[in-house]
Structure 1
Amino acid sequence: MSLRNNIIANYLSQIYVTTIGIIVVPFYIMHMGAEVYGLIGFFVLMQSWLTLMDLGLTPTVVRETARFKGGNLTALYFRQVVRALSIVFWTLAVVGGSALYFLADTIATSWLNIESLAPDVVVFALKVMAITVALRWLSGVFRGIIQGCERLVWLSYFNVVLATFRSVGVIAVMNIWGFTPNIFFTYQLIITILEAVILWSTSRSLLPHIDKDIETIGWSLKPVKSVLKFALTIAFTASIWLLITQTDKMVLSGILSLSEYGYFSLAVLVASGIMIISGPVSNAVLPRMTNLFALNKHSEMLEIYRNSTQLVAIIACSAAITLAFFADHLLYAWTGDEQIVQHVTPILRLYVIGNGLLAITSFPYYLQYAKGNLRYHLNGNLVMAGALIPSLIFASSNYGAIGAGYVWCAINFMFLFFWVAYVHSKIEPGLHVKWLLNDVLVIFIPAAVTGYLLNLFDLQLQSRITSFAILVLCGSLIIIISTIFSSLVRNYFVSIFNQRFG
């Protein structure tokens, strides 16, 4: 499967998954209330924090699978590595899920600020969350094998079907049995079980065949030692990264009431679409860049690196700029609820700007990942965490969600313009200026100027249809301007022209 098809399939599925997940939120709030949606937001937070147990295992599965496909590992050794990693996955899933399950009462009574929900309802929801989160995390090893084999088109179709059942199917089920937290979280658990079974079956079919009469996989953990350094480096950086991206959410979950946290979760959900947009690129690029580096094709690897940067700059930055200037129109067209617009718009604007910057600053990690050396990524995360976490705790505690948003924007801005330059100078001397000017700023600046000029028209909220039209028109214009200034797109059309008329 070509890299282009993998990226396209990933983008289409992620756009669908993100869109369907966002579209159904007003139905949740309308039928269950902002407080229950705050509980759903806490569910998402728990999934993020449970990835602390990953210990770098999922990225390691992807990388080892890509190395096997590239001819760097034998079939037997690869099967032994997968078996050993699976043992660790199962063990940690049981430990983490059990811990969250037995802490449900404490979380419900001592951490969450419940307003009208019955405590026993919240405890039941938290216990079901614990099982669901553990199973979804466990599926990471199966997804890793599929992703490393570059079966991303199949995975994209699967994600679309799964998102439909998870987001839309639950509404149909609750319409029959009631719009309650118990029904919602029980349904999510059932879908998660089906997800794990299907991913397990598919990943098994992709594993290489070995002659069991001659070769034995065994149950030893020794194969993990060969990838331990790489896995632990990713694990530590992932832990720091989790602290960087989730500290504000954890702190605010204990400060805000569940209903206020619901509005905050709504803003974060929409803003997360910016990072989700860059996800398909990384899913497709990481195994391909790793394979090219293993084959000593350095120039081809850098070409993919720079082209994928432009692709993310066009789409992610254009989306961030559009939402930063027209967040109120998006929220009103989507929900038709002026109270949601009032509560969510200021937070959303800050988080989409921060996430737009973050989507670009993630790229040096891809380069380091392909080379198998994450030292600078580790150091960068430590520096960022040292500056961000105390600032977020202070700002969140004193100024709530708005304070956290301002800190998030400021730190990501400084990280892009200072730390990324340092990393590029160390791992690819001479790359940074060309990368920043020709692959990022030449696309970002015209789009930002376009958004600013459109915002000068001071377009007021009128009707949901009008707001939707304004959002589509302005967003389309911003992304068109971004595309025009991209050398990647220009070269693509020139090549098509030469093929047809040259």
Structure 2
Amino acid sequence: MSTLKRNIIANYASQLYVTGVGIVILPLYVNYMGAEAYGLVGFFAMLQAWFTLLDLGLTPTISRETARYKGGSMSALEFRRLFRALSMIFAGIAIIGAGGLLLSSKWIASNWLTVELLSLEEVTFAVQVMALSVALRWLCGLYRGVVTGSEKLVWLSVFNVFVATMRFIAVFFSMWLYGFTPKVFFIHQMIVAFIELSGVWCMAQRLIPSINSQREFIGWSFEPVAPFLKFSLMIAFTSSMWVLITQTDKLILSGILSLTEYGYFTLAVLVASGIMVISGPISNAIMPRMSRLHAEGKQEELASVYRNATQLVSVIAGSAAITIALCAESLLLIWSGDEQLAKKVAPILRLYAIGNGMLALSAFPYYLQYAIGNLRYHFVGNFILALVLLPAISIAASLHGAIGAGWVWLSVNIFYLLFWASFVHYKLLRGLTVRWILSDVLCIVIPALILSSAYILFSLVMEQKNNTIFSNFLFIVLTAVFSFIGSLSFNRKFRDWGGKVFKVVNR
């Protein structure tokens, strides 16, 4: 097996494990720590996401330049100078970021977060430990970039699995010994963050080239970073827009909702995020293929790959979104075993599941722009989306809480899919302007929705569903089957395959 294939398989396996164990273990946090304490966990996750705004594209830059060094495009001395300059930047940002959070920890605990059961001192201490943990995990980005650029992805994947196990599972052993409290939880997370930093630092040190220190001087200048600023800032802009679009609701709601309600909201959003994980491998596979086809001038083949991939995501992500939305309460009941939690979280989960399904499909115009090499419309679209989303979520969340934010998320993603995607197609591939949304999306998603909804209506009329674990599980499975059959029957590839089978059978 080639190194590339091993890297891809290892990367996907670790990604699925890290995401899966994170989702599966969450109900235990709520059961043992309480919903309000879990709200702090959700706030911690949101802080880590917002901290990526400070990356400024530096992590992809060191990864790219490590690969270029390995390919012989840069001397060892040049690489060491760049690495030292980036190390100083990363360390500076970590100190400033952690210091800012530490100094504002009391204000965050007393003025931003709405605490009902936990003590102010306990929440303040948790925020202070969060600050240190976020800074340690932030520093990992520099060394992960070196490991990734060196294509040591099998090692990194195994290490990620180890860290995820320590973070999500081993924490229960610590809490079993010392108590199921936020203090124990976040101290454990800080220790794991230190172990993670130590691991990637050690591996990066093995991969960084050595030089003759007596004849070659590295220095302490930021000048080596200057040639890469344009590349870094382009990535930084895209990343910043993505963080603003996907994390603004979480930031706003963390200051509006009580920690208990915020914990429920975080649960819903995390379950719905599984839809994006499902569609990720497909997008990662088609982007380089489409780029190559465009470079070779094979526009018809590019359009074919693009449409086939869209239909595949419509079937997979569309069916998943419909199933989660229609069976939200049953899914949460099986997952958590808590009927009260299921009833509170289900309405939010429905909105975010459908919204994320739309988002998985509306990402396709970006893949097209990436292949063509023109990201202008992607920048403009994300900028407009952020301008609409930020005030809309602020108003809706203030008036209606998490449900209001969910409706805004769903509405904005529907608009982006139906109108902005059509605009991008009109500008870049005019022949797809109408066919893409009608043939490749709606003609697949709508039959899936109709067939699965018909099954649910039939179940309710026949009173076949009750609240046992088995009946809920069967209800979810059958809904997924009907949704999948409905979407698959209108997939062009499946119809062509079915036609061939029909001809063979009737010979």
Whether 1:94 and 2:99 are equivalent positions in the alignment is no
1:367-402 Cα deviation digits (max 9, x unpaired): 545666533222111100111111111111111111
Work out the CA distance in 2 between the residues paired with 1:365 and 1:284: 14
Specify the alignment match of 1:468 in structure 2. 473
- Within a 5 Å distance, the mapping from 1:100-499 to structure 2 comes to 100-149=101-150, 151-206=152-207, 218-281=219-282, 288=288, 292=292, 296-297=295-296, 299=298, 309=310, 312-369=313-370, 373-427=374-428, 430=431, 436=437, 440-441=441-442, 443-456=444-457, 457-458=459-460, 460-479=465-484, 482=487
CA contact (8 A) 1:15 1:277 kept: no
Work out the CA distance in 1 between the residues paired with 2:275 and 2:181: 30
Provide the secondary structure at the position in 2 that maps to 1:179: coil
Work out the CA distance in 1 between the residues paired with 2:149 and 2:248: 30
1:188-209 Cα deviation digits (max 9, x unpaired): 1111111122223334445567
Worse-superposed segment, 418-427 or 121-130: 418-427
Provide the secondary structure at the position in 2 that maps to 1:139: helix
1:256-278 Cα deviation digits (max 9, x unpaired): 11111111111111112222334
Letter in 2 for 1:466: S
**In angstroms, what is the RMSD of aligned CA positions?**
3.5
Gaps of 5+ in 1: 495-502
Work out the CA distance in 2 between the residues paired with 1:47 and 1:16: 20
CA contact (8 A) 1:388 1:411 kept: yes
Work out the CA distance in 1 between the residues paired with 2:371 and 2:160: 25
Letter in 2 for 1:421: S
Worse-superposed segment, 322-331 or 192-201: 192-201
1:179-223 Cα deviation digits (max 9, x unpaired): 011110011111111112222333444556778788766544333
Letter in 1 for 2:119: A
Tell me the TM-score normalized by structure 2: 0.85
Specify the alignment match of 1:499 in structure 2. none
Cα 1:475–1:148 shift into 2, 3 Å? farther
Gaps of 5+ in 2: 500-507
Work out the CA distance in 2 between the residues paired with 1:207 and 1:304: 39
Letter in 1 for 2:74: T
Cα 1:298–1:177 shift into 2, 3 Å? farther
Cα 1:208–1:378 shift into 2, 3 Å? farther
Tell me the TM-score normalized by structure 1: 0.85
Provide the secondary structure at the position in 2 that maps to 1:24: helix
Q: Alpha-carbon deviation of 1:44?
A: 1.0
CA contact (8 A) 2:62 2:142 kept: yes
Work out the CA distance in 1 between the residues paired with 2:268 and 2:79: 42
CA contact (8 A) 1:368 1:377 kept: yes
Worse-superposed segment, 147-156 or 123-132: 147-156
CA contact (8 A) 2:325 2:349 kept: yes
Work out the CA distance in 1 between the residues paired with 2:148 and 2:446: 34
Specify the alignment match of 1:22 in structure 2. 23
Q: Alpha-carbon deviation of 1:413?
A: 1.0
Q: Alpha-carbon deviation of 1:253?
A: 1.3
Cα 1:186–1:233 shift into 2, 3 Å? same
1:415-453 Cα deviation digits (max 9, x unpaired): 112222333444556565565566544543443333323
1:15-56 Cα deviation digits (max 9, x unpaired): 332222122222211111111011111111111111121112
CA contact (8 A) 1:105 1:123 kept: yes
Q: Alpha-carbon deviation of 1:59?
A: 3.5
Work out the CA distance in 2 between the residues paired with 1:2 and 1:438: 38
Provide the secondary structure at the position in 1 that maps to 2:251: helix
Work out the CA distance in 1 between the residues paired with 2:439 and 2:6: 25
Work out the CA distance in 2 between the residues paired with 1:488 and 1:226: 47
Work out the CA distance in 1 between the residues paired with 2:194 and 2:468: 42
Letter in 2 for 1:47: Q
Cα 1:278–1:85 shift into 2, 3 Å? farther
Work out the CA distance in 1 between the residues paired with 2:325 and 2:490: 21
Work out the CA distance in 1 between the residues paired with 2:404 and 2:91: 39
Q: Alpha-carbon deviation of 1:149?
A: 4.9
Work out the CA distance in 1 between the residues paired with 2:498 and 2:130: 49
Q: Alpha-carbon deviation of 1:486?
A: 5.1
Work out the CA distance in 2 between the residues paired with 1:492 and 1:222: 59
Aligned residues: 492
Bigger relative contact order, structure 1 or 2, given CA contacts below 8 A and separation 6+?
A: 1
CA contact (8 A) 2:290 2:371 kept: yes
Cα 1:382–1:327 shift into 2, 3 Å? same
Give the share of equivalent positions with the same residue, in percent.
Answer: 51
Provide the secondary structure at the position in 2 that maps to 1:116: coil
Cα 1:285–1:120 shift into 2, 3 Å? farther
Cα 1:68–1:108 shift into 2, 3 Å? same
Q: Alpha-carbon deviation of 1:326?
A: 0.7
Work out the CA distance in 1 between the residues paired with 2:285 and 2:88: 27
Letter in 2 for 1:202: M
Q: Alpha-carbon deviation of 1:409?
A: 0.6
Work out the CA distance in 2 between the residues paired with 1:289 and 1:103: 47
Cα 1:155–1:478 shift into 2, 3 Å? farther
Worse-superposed segment, 85-94 or 345-354: 85-94
Specify the alignment match of 2:502 in structure 1. none
Provide the secondary structure at the position in 2 that maps to 1:462: coil
Letter in 1 for 2:25: V
Provide the secondary structure at the position in 2 that maps to 1:268: helix
